[in-house]
Amino acid sequence: MVSWGRAFFLALKAFIYAILWYIIGGILVFSGMYLAGLSFPFSPTGFGSVPNLSSGVTSILGIILMIIGMIIIIFGATASLIKVAVDEIEKRRPSYQPPPPPY
């Protein structure tokens, strides 16, 4: 059985791994927001100007980048939790001893 101290240590370890994935994915999400947000310039009157082809492509690229960043955050955080759990299970499992060969 795992002690409470060990359980909290493993939770902290998984949390730190998840924070790293949030940072990596967050950089992509904010880069995508930057590309998508600045791709349609507004006129001084407050009404949006007609977007040209390059700004539409930049918006689509920004949205794709945001989606990729969110996927990295979700899968990375989940994978870090699974990794910490499986590593602990592997440590606690007795090592496999193959049966002796038959005579």
Question: What are the structural domain ranges in the chain?
Answer: 9-92
Q: For residues 33 and 66, is the Cβ–Cβ distance under 8 A?
A: yes
> Cβ neighbours of residue 64 under 8 Å, at least 6 residues apart?
32
The pair of three-digit structure tokens given for residue 59, joined into one six-digit string: 């918006």
Per the listing, tokens 């994915």 go with: 25
Indicate yes or no: pTM above 0.75: no
The confidence score (pLDDT) of residue 79 equals 96
Query: Per-residue pLDDT for the chain (103 aa), expressed as one digit of tens each?
Result: 789 999 999 999 999 999 999 999 999 998 888 888 754 455 555 555 545 555 778 888 989 999 999 999 999 999 999 999 999 988 888 777 788 888 7
Q: What is the pLDDT of residue 39?
A: 46
For residue 48, the cross-strand partners are 42
